[in-house]
Amino acid sequence: MSTPGSTADNSVRDFQAQPLPRWQRAVLKVGSSLLAGFSDEPDGLDPRYAAGLARFIAQARAQQREVVLVSSGAVAAGRGRIDTGGDSLVLRQALASLGQASLMGFWQQLSDRPVAQVLLTHDDLRNRRRYLNARATLRELLKLGALPIINENDAVAVDELKLGDNDNLAAAVASLVDADLLLIATDIGGLYSAHPQRDPTARAIDRIERITPELLLAASGGAGKLGTGGMRTKLEAAAKATAAGIPTALFCGRNDAVVRALGEGQLHGTLVLAQGDRLRARKQWLRHAPSSGRLLVDAGAVAALHRQGASLLPGGVAGVEGDFRRGDVIEIVATTAGAEPFARGLAQYSATEIGRIARRHSNDIEAVLGFRYGESVIHRDDLVLLVAAHDDETPEVKA
C-alpha cells in the first residue's frame, strides 16, 4: 500500500511492481473508459490507449501465448455515430447495436491478425450445450490464430439474460476458455481502499489474498463517466475467477509504462490471488455435479484414461445408459469391473448419438451422425478419475 492517487499518471508511483503470475492463455478485459469519452462531446472510439493494449496482445502472440479480448465500447461507439442524449436501457441496446460493428473495425485496425466477434449472454453460459459450443468455437478461433473479441449481446440481453457488465462476462469467459490469468484494464491504477477521487486518504492495494466484504465496500464508490460497474464489478469478477483458480490483475490501461511492464511480466496494479489450483477447482466440480447417465467402456479405454490421461474416444465405448444430452455430466464404468464408476466427465455427444457411434473410429463420426463436435465423446479436460490407477503412472487428471 502506498501514497494516494487518482489518475493514470499515478499508477506506477502508487502501485509497486510485482511479478505477474506465469500465464499461457489470458483473458484481457478492456473497459469503455479506455476507448472513448476523452472529451465532453460524444466522439466515438479513440485508439490512444487501445493501441498499447493491442501491442501487448501482439507481443504475447509472438511469444506463443493466447489472448481472448473482452471489449466494452459498443454503446460509446454508437453514441459517436448517432449523437443522442438519454440513457434508457432500450436506448443503450440500440446504441450497442449501432456501435458493435465500429468496435470490431476499430480493433481490426489495431490488430496484426484477423479479429473474430463473439457476442454472449448470461443465458448462453448457463445453458450447458451452448456453453460447450461457445467454448469449442473459441478454442477453434485460437487454433486459427485469430483474436476472439467478446462483448455482451446487448441487443437481446435484458434482466435475467444479462451478465450486466463486462467485468463479470470476462470472469465467465476466463473459466470458459480455461485461461490461467484474467487481466482487467481500466482507467485507474488498481483498487484503492476508498474511491480515490473522493477520499484523499485512499491507499493503493497491491495484493489481495481474499476478497472480503470490507474490500467490496471500498470498491462500491460508483463507476467513471462511461463505465458500468466501477471497481465493485471488477472485484466481483475477480472473486469468481479466483474461486475457479484463475488469478486476476487490475491495472491502468491508460498508462503506457504499466502496459509495457505487463508485457515484461511485471504488474503495477492490484493482484488478486487464486483460491487454489485451476484444474483442481474444475475437477472438483466434476466429481460432485449430479450425473445424468453412464458409459460402459472396455479395458483399452480404461488403460488409456488411467495411464495416458487421454480423452475418451467412441471406439472404447461398449454401452450407454440413461438419457443424457450433450454437456451433461456422466459417469464412466469399466465393463471389466463392478458397477462402481471409476471416472466422470462432460458428454460431448448425447446418449442417443453415443449409442450410434459406440465402437466406431472417431473418423466415422461425421458419416454416422452427419455432423461432428470433435473426435472424443469426453474430452480429457472435462474428465476426472475417481480412483487411482493400479500402478504408479497415475495421470495428472486425478486432481
Ligand X SMILES: Nc1ncnc2c1ncn2[C@@H]1O[C@H](COP(=O)(O)OP(=O)(O)O)[C@@H](O)[C@H]1O
Binding residues vs ligand X (CB under 6 A): 31-33, 186-188, 191-192, 194-197, 218-219, 221-224, 226-231
Among residues 7 and 275, whose Cβ is nearest to ligand VHF? 7
Number of residues that bind ligand VHF (CB under 6 A): 18
Within 8 A by CB and 6+ apart from 46, the residues are: 35, 36, 38
Q: How far is the CB of 193 from ligand X (least distance, A)?
A: 7
Interface with ligand VHF (CB under 6 A), residue from 229, 245, 315, 345? 229
Q: How far is the CB of 28 from ligand X (least distance, A)?
A: 12
From residue 141 to residue 160, what is the string marking binding to ligand VHF with x (rule CB under 6 A)? ----------xx-x------
Report the alpha-carbon distance of residue 10 to residue 255 in Å, rounded: 9
Within 8 A by CB and 6+ apart from 73, the residues are: 30, 32, 35, 36, 45, 99, 103, 106, 151
Q: What is each CA distance from 191 to 89, 152, 187, 208, 343, in whole angstroms?
A: 28, 24, 11, 10, 42
Among residues 221 and 309, whose Cβ is nearest to ligand X? 221
Is residue 72 a known part of a binding site? yes
Cβ neighbours, 10 Å, residue 200: 9
Q: What are phi and psi of 266, to 5 degrees?
A: -115, 130
Interface with ligand VHF (CB under 6 A), residue from 102, 228, 255, 350? 228
Smallest Cα–Cα separation from 343: which of 315, 374, 379?
379
Q: How far is the CB of 221 from ligand X (least distance, A)?
A: 3
Q: How far is the CB of 75 from ligand X (least distance, A)?
A: 11
3-state secondary structure of 396: coil
Report the site for ligand VHF in 56-95 (rule: CB under 6 A). 72-76
Q: Does 165 bind ligand VHF (CB under 6 A)?
A: yes
Is residue 233 a known part of a binding site? yes
Is residue 186 a known part of a binding site? yes
Q: Does 44 bind ligand VHF (CB under 6 A)?
A: no
Among residues 32 and 100, whose Cβ is nearest to ligand X? 32
First to last CA, the chain: 36
Q: How far is the CB of 96 from ligand VHF (least distance, A)?
A: 5
Is residue 232 a known part of a binding site? yes
Within 8 A by CB and 6+ apart from 55, the residues are: 259, 263
- Please answer whether residues 277 and 28 qualify as being in contact, where contact means their C-beta atoms are separated by less than 8 angstroms: no
Report the alpha-carbon distance of residue 141 to residue 133 in Å, rounded: 12
Cβ neighbours, 10 Å, residue 148: 23
Q: Does 253 bind ligand VHF (CB under 6 A)?
A: no
User: For the purposes of burial, counting CB atoms within 10 Å of the CB of 398, is it exposed (0-12), middle (13-18) or buried (19 or more)?
Assistant: middle
231 binds, among ligand VHF, ligand X, none (CB under 5 to 8 A by kind): ligand X
Q: How far is the CB of 255 from ligand X (least distance, A)?
A: 13
Q: How far is the CB of 120 from ligand VHF (least distance, A)?
A: 10
Q: Which residues line the annotated binding site for substrate?
A: 72, 154, 166
* Interface positions with ligand VHF (CB under 6 A): 31-33, 72-76, 96, 151-152, 154, 165-166, 226-229
Q: Which residues line the annotated binding site?
A: 29, 72, 154, 166, 186-187, 228-234
